[in-house]
Chain A
Amino acid sequence: MTLVADDISDRAAIEDETTHAETPVRAPASRHRHRLVASAATIIVLLALWTAASAFGLVSALFLPSPIAVAKAFWNVATTGFVDATLLQHLVASLGRVFAALFASIIVAVPIGFAIGLSPIGRGIFDPIIEFLRPLPPLAYLPLVIIWFGIGEASKIIVIALAMLAPIVISTAAGVAGTSRDRINAARSLGASRLQVLGHVVLPSAIGDILTGIRIALGAGWTTLVAAELVAASRGVGFMIQSAAQFLVTDVVLLGIVVIAAVAFALEAVIRILQRFFVPWLGKT
């Protein structure tokens, strides 16, 4: 229980900091530009070092193919494919698993978050489960899930969903518990029943936090993906990396890593846009 509370306050503190940085005195545009320039420079320097290392033969191409080789691999995998599937097909397989898991996780985690946020009994019941699950590395329970659910698609989705559960539960609980007392009282004095307060006040109040939980969960799920695809998969970006590694096709391994990073970045950006769309009042009231 204390762990959950700590986690929530930590997260709140982090978000507090970011919103504070954004709202009161806007940093001069030049500072933002300086940061972007520094980031771009870092990337360019790293790419240059990488190119130089492979061009001058400092590292064997078997271990570190040149950026151009990786770009070629990207083209090849995107058009003709690797182990019977194109990059897009691998990507669709992986995203399909992650989103199926996200869907399952939301259906279970949001009601649990409500139970924890609304009642001490709910907190008492679910806290031990969430606190047990939260620090577990998904690889630790992957074998058990396979024993229980076989090596098919179901166990992959279950492992990813389990990894996503705790962040959504914890964020939802924080959002529910943080609903403004005045707004709840306002609704009650306007004649709202308990159920109406839940649907019309608590749920919309918690949407922002639920989306934050989903954002963190997508990160956790995407991280678990490669592990889940190690076992008896025939498609997926994680599987692609794994089979490329077995044949020492290092350029495809590197390509897979870059693709996974890029997708993670894109997912994060999409959720942030959704958040701005669904919770436009955040930081304004």
Chain B
Amino acid sequence: MSRLEISNVTAHYEGAAAPVLANVSLALGAGEFVAVIGRSGCGKTTLLNLAAGFAFPTSGRLTLDGQPVRGPGPERAVVFQDDALFPWLSAVDNVAFGLQLKGVPKNDRREAARGLLARVGLAGLDERPIWRLSGGQRQRLGLARALAIEPAFLLMDEPLGALDAMTREHMQQLLLDIFLATRAGILLITHSIEEALFLATRVVVMAPNPGRIVRTLDVDFSRRVRAGESARAVKSAPDFIEARAELLDLVFEREAQ
């Protein structure tokens, strides 16, 4: 049972006096889906970069199963806002990349990658160069690439931010399916309150100047989808709308300050 713990962390941009994050604490365990929302500049992405090991805090502790985080690692796969795929590799080889690093033989890793491509809805696009894929397809590919190494944690930095509304709904469904199937601990940075409520088991609201957590809300709408309710029914249920209004108020109230 893996556990990623961020305790009392403060972080600065290089050379800046004011902190990006001040005294932020957050824990992420297996089977948890934490969505972080907040306006731009509240340090959401910095929080993810710390969790991924791409950046380091000025004070506070980050631990993975009790061990301090010293850098990135394959137990914490990242899905990037700008997909960060490798254009010199075909779709299937992008997905197989993590397995290639581990030394998995070519045929085996490509077979595994093909399975994942099918799972994220990209079956048959194996050899397609990635610059011939649409934005939505590229995000699916980024997700498949992360899933290929079977990470304990999936860290996602606004992966759906640049997608159109229709594609976004499909991707939300896909994320939910993957969460329910893998039970990986997921950290999702998002701008969309609805997305956060719909997918997460816990919604964290952040505010800027300095970046901090102002509200944590445990929710279970995704479990209701799992129990058989339709996505549309859940999203229009009274308690979903109420929770959304509450979070909207919270974000806007903070924004007005």
Contact = CB atoms under 8 A, between A and B. Distances in A.
Contacts of A182: 80, 82, 84
Contact of B78 (A189, A196, A284): A189
11 contacts: A185-B80, A186-B145, A190-B74, A190-B98, A200-B86, A204-B88, A279-B88, A280-B129, A281-B88, A281-B129, A284-B87
What size tier do the contact residues of chain A reach? 20 to 34
A188 B80 CA distance: 13
Contacts of A260: none
B77 A185 contact: no
Nearest to A278: B88
A185 B72 contact: yes
Interface of A: 180, 182-183, 185-193, 196, 200-201, 204, 207, 279-281, 284-285
B196 to A, nearest CB: 23
Interface string B120-143: 000000000111000000000000
What size tier do the contact residues of chain B reach? 20 to 34
Interface string B95-133: 001101110000000000000000000000000011100
Interface string B195-210: 0000000000000000
B77 A189 contact: yes
Contact of B84 (A183, A192, A196, A281): A183
A155 B74 CA distance: 51
A285 B87 contact: yes
B193 interface: no
Nearest to A186: B84
A128 B103 CA distance: 40
B238 to A, nearest CB: 40
A186 B78 contact: yes
Contacts, number: 74
A201 B101 CA distance: 12
B105 to A, nearest CB: 17
Contacts of B52: 185, 189
Contacts of B129: 280-281
B71 interface: yes
Contacts of A186: 78, 80, 84-86, 145
A204 B145 contact: no
Nearest to A193: B101
Contacts of B145: 186, 190
Given A183-B84, A183-B86, A190-B145, A281 B131 contact: yes
Interface in B40-84: 52-54, 71-74, 76-78, 80, 82, 84
The secondary structure that dominates the A interface is helix
B129 to A, nearest CB: 7
Contacts of B97: 187, 190, 200
Report the 8 A-B pairs with minimum CB-CB distance, sorted nearest first.
A191-B74, A281-B87, A182-B84, A190-B98, A284-B131, A188-B72, A204-B88, A186-B84
Nearest to B142: A186
B74 A189 contact: yes
A249 to B, nearest CB: 51
A191 B84 contact: no
Residue from A188, A196, A279 whose CB has the most chain B CB atoms within 10 Å: A188
Given A190-B145, A285-B131, A200 B101 contact: yes
B198 to A, nearest CB: 26
A104 to B, nearest CB: 27
A197 to B, nearest CB: 10
Given A190-B74, A191-B73, A185 B84 contact: yes
Given A186-B84, A191-B101, A200-B101, 14 more contacts: A182-B84, A185-B52, A186-B80, A186-B145, A187-B97, A187-B101, A188-B72, A189-B155, A190-B98, A190-B145, A191-B102, A196-B101, A200-B86, A204-B88
A196 B102 CA distance: 10
Contacts of B149: 190-191
A279 to B, nearest CB: 8
A201 to B, nearest CB: 7
A125 B84 CA distance: 32
A279 B85 CA distance: 15
B153 to A, nearest CB: 10
A191 B96 CA distance: 12
A223 to B, nearest CB: 32
